[in-house]
Chain A
Amino acid sequence: MTTIDAKNVLDETTVAVTGNEAVAEAMRQIDPDVVCAYPITPQTEVVQLYAQMVADGKVESEFVTVESEHSAMSAVIGSAAGGARTMTATSSQGFALMWEVLYVAASYRLPIVMTTVNRALSGPINIHCDHSDTMGGRDAGWIQLYGENHQEAYDNCLQAVRIAEHTDIYLPTMHMYDGYVISGAIGPLKMLPDDRVKSFIGPYRPVNPLLDTKHPVTVGPFDGLHGFYFEHKVAQNRAMDRALGVIQDVADEYAELSGRQYGLLDAYRLDDADVAIVVVGSTAGTTRDVVDKLRAKGVKAGMVRVRVFRPFPHEAYAAALQHVKVVGVLDRADSFGAQGGPVFLEIRGALYDCDPRPQVLPFIYGLGGRDIFPDNIEQAFAVLQKAARSKKRASIERRYLNLRED
């Protein structure tokens, strides 16, 4: 039903690290040709540790220090277009500053891998976790993978390279984990041996690199007055559609290597559930504990954790949730003026063709790092249970968890 226990069994390969250390170690094992990055809380440790590894000669990467995240993404684009395996990392305002060039990276079809440690966007100025940064970037054309914990931050970082560089895809890929909650916390990580990672990642064979001067190409020219911009965008979206299969293939191959199986989504005790919560990131762990507690009381509760957000596996969600009476979606970002948060909108859309159609209710939690306790998740389940018992469909106004209301 779930693979969390298999992932978490302690053994001689387990180390105690922060989430950021886990990702810096993954990057060391990948040893990309080029890393261009600018430090920002809570991503800083990743860049700092990697710069140290470069200085200590533990990796062969060229580390390019830049003066801003806009420059970091621009340098990464130049490097990747040149034909180098290239990585970067950021958070929050840094991600926002990359904005216009994120689209450029995707439209050039550059297989860049970026770690984004999720943090709120200003203002007020806030350094804590929420998902506003990358949820805001969901339409930029990047593949997006959300990790739950230390282990998945590491595992997703390694898989992201294979996904991005797959010749059917060739799209930049970002992977995320919760700022502070995971990035700064010490937790268990099972590391793979360097040589096994190396063979999993494999050598990089760039397609149409600029530096292959015997086969000259042009990257990023003006499209002309009536050029092929539209067709270009359709090609990007078709690559996104193909990515779902590739992401699962890479996960299956990684499972053979690591013993840790990932899917497009992560369902927990869902098969006979009447009520279920959909959630992203570290809060999934807390939610699983609440599901267990409710199950012990006879409540048919379940959960789905979002792993792949772009492309969004809507058919997989419809299949997973069609039998559930009421689905609550917990968003750690809001889309102001929309019917609900970004994940809510996707889930509600994914379930539209189900018959009977489950109710889907929006919850917002954890903005700016507001803590989310098991009690808060129980309160959300109570709303779902009440809606499941009622003959009338429940209101779909936003419900806020752990909001200071008085």
Chain B
Amino acid sequence: MTTKTRKSRSSTHGLTEIRWHGRGGQGAVTAAKMVAEVALGQNRYFQAFPEYGPERSGAPIVAFTRISDEPIQVYSGVENPHIVVVLDPSLLSIVDVTKGAPDDAVVLVNSDMPPADLRAHYKMKGHKLFTVAATKIATETIGRPIPNTPMVGALVRITGMFPIEDVVEFLRADFGKKFPPKVVEGNIKALTRSYEEVQAE
């Protein structure tokens, strides 16, 4: 009794499923959680979890976010993500990041290349591809090459999931509890710059 079906289960109960690919230390799990917490602020149901296991710095990792208008009680891994976010383009040559994603899925990659060039370079087929230079933006705004916050900014733009002002407000309140104002403002800049600079195909 193995699972072989790969049919899309998109949009049942207004459910959005996001799969995050990154490397340990890039903040993919933090980003998955950040989106879940913003969803709570929007009075939407949420779930965020890493692919169960210990996180090792530099190793490929996967995390998931589910957002829904109704309570979420499914606890299996996300098989057919509507949105795939890739925090490290080097993963494209070693991980099948679009595995199980339906044809109309959105793929967002952290890359300096425009989407068409990235697609040609990695011979990517299908899906709606977007890119944003998240590591560069993070380095210039936060001062550290951690691409997670800028990737959230780009994600918010291409999906229209939340108003960007609400995400800014969340960062100010939530990061404000944990980090000095300079770091908070850097993250907000990273978020809003990516929101503006994300490129469509």
Contacts and interface: CB of A to CB of B under 8 A. Distances in A.
Contact of B75 (A128, A188, A285, A379): A285
B48 interface: yes
Nearest to A187: B47
A129 B52 contact: yes
Contacts of B74: 285-286, 289, 374
Nearest to B50: A184
Contacts of A323: none
A300 interface: no
Contacts of B76: 286, 371-374
B163 interface: no
B162 interface: no
Interface string B144-185: 000000000000000000000000000000000000000000
A327 interface: no
A186 B36 contact: yes
Contacts of A15: 40
Interface residues of A, number: 46
B2 A188 contact: no
B49 A8 contact: no
B69 to A, nearest CB: 11
Contacts of B71: 4-5, 8-9
Would you call the interface of chain B mostly helix, strand, loop, or mixed? loop
A188 B42 CA distance: 13
B40 A14 contact: yes
Given A16-B33, A16-B40, A371-B76, A185 B1 contact: no
Nearest to B47: A187
Given A180-B49, A288-B73, A399 B40 contact: no
A134 B74 CA distance: 23
Contacts of A178: 75
24 contacts: A4-B73, A8-B71, A14-B40, A15-B40, A16-B40, A149-B73, A180-B49, A180-B52, A180-B53, A181-B75, A186-B32, A186-B36, A285-B73, A286-B74, A286-B75, A289-B73, A372-B76, A373-B76, A374-B74, A376-B1, A376-B3, A380-B1, A401-B1, A404-B2
Q: Closest 10 A-B residue pairs measured CB to CB?
A: A285-B73, A185-B49, A180-B52, A8-B71, A186-B48, A282-B75, A16-B37, A375-B3, A373-B76, A379-B1
Given A128-B53, A400-B1, 8 more contacts: A16-B33, A16-B37, A41-B54, A149-B73, A188-B45, A188-B46, A373-B3, A399-B1
